[in-house]
Structure 1
Amino acid sequence: MTTPQEVLLKTLKELGDEDFGNFKWFLNQEGVLGDFKSIPQSHLEKANRFTTVSEMVQIYGTTNAIKVTKKVLMKMDKTQLVKKMIGSIEEPADPKRDTEQRVQPEDWLLSVRTQLSQRLSDVTVSQLLDRLYDQRVISGEEMNVIRAQIGADKARHLIDWVHRKGPEAVSLLKAALREVDPWLCKTLNLA
């Protein structure tokens, strides 16, 4: 199966050097990407295509990195490349779905803890925190403690905190994750 990151990389490889430079320029511009924040110039200045994909996924999350790529390519009048990119995104198989539904929520969360902590971007964790706070799963103080963490520790703290709160909290986290990053859910067979 081709991952979304591989699709993004393949798409960027189809851009010539000048177009790739223009692509990075759009990523750096404040306000050009609508609701998506820009990537600092220092992160992109000498970035090759691999680094650019990694940076985008880290900052935006997998699903939003695809949306941002589509938005930038449309601004660059690369409609055919957008169609090609969208056409090469595969829907992952769902072999664990029936089994997963019989697993207790807390057990499920522990079984995917490592994968989630490695793959959740800071943006995705922030969006999950907002949703869980709105649903009163976590308090404002808990949210601030989790946000103060760095990198994968942020995701680990979120997962562990929700796990301690029980099956209902885990189910709400799962639902929020499906909304915030459906690609990650499908990739990890969590959808």
Structure 2
Amino acid sequence: MGQIEQKELLNTLEDLGDEEFTKFKWFLQQPDSLRGFPGMKKGRVQTTTRWDTVTLMVQTYRLPGALEVTRKVLEKINRNDLVQSLTASSSGPKGQSQEVET
């Protein structure tokens, strides 16, 4: 179950261009933009690859949190198309949901 979501996160990050990925990592360092999640240390994410970034996000935020942080950052870099595809692929409520939008 968890590996499917991790693979989906990786696929999403692979859809970003290099400049978008750099912006994505910058937003990961900004706690104010993550609302409710801590920012990551610059030294930890500055030179990471996409798959290392996924691993680091899952270690830092756990899987549900990593998905939520990814959605928040994608919105900030105006990639709502990827938010939609990530939400569609990982939205099945498998017993627990952190947030419910109304």
Question: Which category describes the TM-score, using the shorter chain as reference length?
Answer: 0.7 to 0.9
C-alpha distance in 1, partners of 2:91/2:28?
A: 25
C-alpha distance in 2, partners of 1:79/1:90?
A: 15
Deviation at 1:87, TM superposition (A): 1.6
Deviations 1:11-54 (A, max 9, x none): 00000000000000000113111110001011001100011000
Partner SS, residue 31 of structure 1? helix
Paired residue type of 2:7? E
Mapping of residues 44-83 of structure 1, within 5 Å: 44-83=45-84
Displaced runs of 4+ in structure 1, greater than 6 A? none
* Unaligned residue ranges in structure 2 (runs of 5+): none
| 1:39 maps onto 2:40 in alignment | yes
TM-score by length of structure 1 reads 0.47
Identity of aligned residues (%): 39
Residue aligning to 2:85: 84
TM-score by length of structure 2 reads 0.85
Deviation at 1:88, TM superposition (A): 2.0
Q: Choose between structure 1 and 2 for higher RCO, CA contacts under 8 A separated by at least 6 residues.
A: 2
Paired residue type of 1:54? T
* Unaligned residue ranges in structure 1 (runs of 5+): 94-177, 181-191
Residue aligning to 1:10: 11
Deviation at 1:64, TM superposition (A): 0.7
C-alpha distance in 2, partners of 1:79/1:179?
A: 21
